[in-house]
Amino acid sequence: MTTIEKLTKFVNQRPGLDYSNYGELSSYRSEMAEITRDRTDYFELLSLAFSRIDNLNEVVTDYLLKSSGRLTMNEAGNLEYCTGQYFPTEYRPAANRILANLIFASYRDEIEHNTPNNVYKDGNEIRKAIKRSISRRIAKNYFN
């Protein structure tokens, strides 16, 4: 199983919301809807990452092995997640942040390598360019 497949399986797992943690049905449903939107964000970011990064699987593997964030990969190649406060609401955004960081880095690398289509001068221009390729929600949550 590739690292991208493992990451996608991680994102696709059931969140495991416990209804007893919510006072009313509307707050439970609101939380569940937000978690579902986080899953949609993942696939949009994954699509952009595939279009921008040639060897995406290897890049993600290296990133996870070197990462000191909440979502990492151990030497055996298994994903490990360290929960902050509430797993159901934070595990998908953790995967999304990894892809967002790699996407940003792919744009930044164009500046550093002076590629022919280099039109970005700084981080603000990179964010503007990324925002033209993604939804407002992802732009607001991951590229502000």
- What does the mean pLDDT of the chain come to? 91
pLDDT value, residue 108: 85
The 10s digit of each residue's pLDDT in 17-44 is 989 989 899 999 999 999 999 999 999 9
Please state the domain extents for the chain: 3-13+36-142
The 10s digit of each residue's pLDDT in 66-86 is 988 899 999 999 999 999 999
Cα 140 to Cα 130: distance, rounded to the nearest angstrom: 11
Confidence band (pLDDT; 50, 70, 90) for 120? Answer: low
What does the pLDDT average to over 94-100?
Answer: 96
pLDDT value, residue 44: 97
pLDDT value, residue 112: 64
Q: Is the pLDDT of residue 126 over 70?
A: yes
